[in-house]
Structure 1
Amino acid sequence: MKLFSYILVITLPLMCSSPSSKNYNYNEGAMDTEVVIEESSSINGLVSVPAEAKPQKIIKTSYLKFETQDLEKSYSAIISAVKTNNGFVQDDNSNKSYNTITRHLVIRIPTSNFQTAIDAISENVSYFDSKRISAKDVTEEFIDLEARLKAKQTLEKRYLELLNKAKNVKEILEIERELSNIREEIEAKQGRLKYLQDKVSLSTINIEFYKLTSEAPVTTSYGTKMWNAVKGGFNGISVFFLGILYVWPLIVIAGIAIFLLRRWIKKSKK
């Protein structure tokens, strides 16, 4: 019963201060005092979100894909643009198919230098196969997470106060179990906030550039692609006629055989 009295003394001001604050229910059992703290469904009861507007939290990403004649030259130009804009390479990998060598880079750039870096990289590219830039506003999620985190931290402090007042093993175990759950939620929200802050402060640029290893020239525009297709058709016709020349003896023999067969058929009819 003493613990019950301490709880009322600690929490009564909080219960009376605001109707939207967290609700605390205490149930006294036949033998022991069971302490139960219930969190209100409204986060604003414990932590009020400031009315003033906060700066926007924007996650910026970009995907660039282009063809090049010199992989190393393109790589050096990209790295130069990245260093100039205080960025770094987070991932770098390359692969080779039957006629293409491809290199893929994941670049992290301070958000303030995001567009400048893209412009610097684009200066050395005559044609992009693909170029996408996107921005995601996570301001609302950021504010909500901060509010919920503060609410959980306040709730944790109150449980710690109750833990100091606990007088028996049952009360201690009950409170420690709740504390464990609250701390897991706090860590999860802190991790999510850290992830979002990283994405907001450092934008991501995915760059994929490749080189054709066949004899076909590098495609720099759609018109060039069409011209290459026409030339490929003429090459196919040339290969066809060259193939015919390789089998000319068979064609001659077949022609003679057909001629003799037709003469024999005519004589047979007479």
Structure 2
Amino acid sequence: MFKKTKWFLIVLLSLTLIGCSSGEDQSAEESTADTSEPSEGATSEEVATNGLSETPESKDSSKVIPDNTEDKMMVYEAHIELETEDYDQFYQSLQEKMNETEAYIVETNIHKTEQGNREGHIRLRVPQNHFETLLTGFEDISDTIQSRNVSGRDVTKEYVDLESRLEAKNKVESRLLTFLEQAEKTEDLIKISQDLERVQAEIETLKGQMNYLENQSDFSTITVSLTETKVVVPKVDSQELNTWEKTKQAFFSSVNGLVSFFSWLFIFIIGYSPVIVLFAAIALLGWLWIRSRKKRADEN
């Protein structure tokens, strides 16, 4: 009796497991059928995007960033404050270091102080594999390093995220292109074209952001703030000490002044001679009249 009951329970348990398995398979098929058919109000971009989130490729976008530093995308920046006795010599030495490390200048701002010294800053871009070489090279070409600040930023996760988004957008673009070829109605063509244009603009934006991160990681930035420390002695102008030249200049200036005065006097006399003669005649007649009266008064 006990054995019959045991076999009965085993058979009953087996039938129950088979029934549950069949129910799960049927529900899975129904859910798959429901997700495969887009809704009537869905846009062409939503239809093209549907199903991409469950692909094996999209699962790779959540991969863990490797711990190895060499596999990371790093952006390095450095700021150095230094003093140099001679700016011209420093700049020449800097050019030699830049040639050795394949660096280049992106900005220069140098000005003179009231004491005649030069100060300012120079911004450089250097390949990341030469970053440390150029950074330590400033100790050889400058007199004093006042300070040095180096910072690094890990942009690996940001780049991987952009790469994943770009991959998804490329798939959407591919599907929209397929829809565009299959569309027959004018309104469908217009709608798909608009969605395609928007997706392509987003793709270009993502590519631009990725190129920027690649450039920032491939080339590091070094900003150099420098001050010239040599004592500048004002030069004595040789012209200020040339007494003979000054004497000649004063002599010719006086001669030119006399010539100008007599020239003006000659022009005045000749040019205004009629008026001068008239006034002279009137003055002469007046003087003669006064003199004759005076004689008559004396005779009386």
Band the TM-score falls in, shorter-chain normalisation:
0.5 to 0.7
Paired residues of 2:45 and 2:176 also in contact (CA < 8 A): no
Match of 2:107 in 1: 91
2:142 to 105, 115, 125: 125
Partner residue of 1:62 out of 73, 78, 91: 78
Task: Give the alignment's TM-score, normalised by structure 1.
Answer: 0.63
Corresponding residue number in structure 2 for 1:48: 59
State how 1:4-153 maps to structure 2 within 5 Å.
Answer: 25-27=38-40, 35=44, 37=46, 39=49, 45=55, 47-49=58-60, 51=63, 55-99=71-115, 100-153=117-170
1:189 corresponds to which of 193, 206, 209:
206
Q: Evaluate the alpha carbon distance shift between residue 91 and residue 42 of structure 1 in structure 2; reply closer, same or farther with a 3 A threshold.
A: farther
The alpha-carbon deviation at position 166 of structure 1 amounts to 0.8
Identity percentage over the alignment? 21
Letter in 1 for 2:96: S
Per-residue displacement from partner, 1:234-268 (whole Å, max 9, x unpaired)?
xxxxxxxxxxxxxxxxxxxxxxxxxxxxxxxxxxx
SS at 1:49's partner residue? helix
Flag the structure with higher helix content. Answer: 2
Q: Secondary structure at the match of 2:40?
A: strand
Determine helix, strand or coil for the equivalent of 2:184. Answer: coil
- With the length of structure 2 as denominator, give the TM-score of the two structures: 0.57
Q: Tell me the distance in 1 between the aligned counterparts of 2:73 and 2:188.
A: 43
- The alpha-carbon deviation at position 37 of structure 1 amounts to 1.8
Q: CA deviation at 1:177?
A: 1.0
Contact conserved, 2:183 with 2:189, CA < 8 A, in 1? Answer: yes
Q: Matched residues in 2 for 1:102 and 1:136: separation?
A: 29
How far is 1:40 from its partner?
Answer: 6.7
Q: How many residues align?
A: 193
1:114-147 Cα shifts (integer Å, max 9, x gaps): 1111111222334223311111100000111101
Q: Kindly indicate whether the alpha-carbon contact (under 8 Å) linking 2:52 and 2:58 is maintained by their aligned counterparts in 1.
A: no
| One-letter amino acid of the counterpart of residue 102, structure 2 | N
Letter in 2 for 1:163: L
Distance in 2 between the 1:183 and 1:113 partners?
Answer: 37
Residue 221 of structure 1 is matched in structure 2 by none
* CA radius of gyration, larger in: 2
**CA RMSD of superposed structures (Å):** 3.1
CA contact 1:104–1:208 (8 Å) conserved in 2: yes
Q: Structure 1: state its 5+ residue gaps.
A: 1-15, 217-270
Change (3 A) 1:34 1:89: closer
Task: Give the 3-state SS of the residue equivalent to 1:106 in structure 2.
Answer: strand
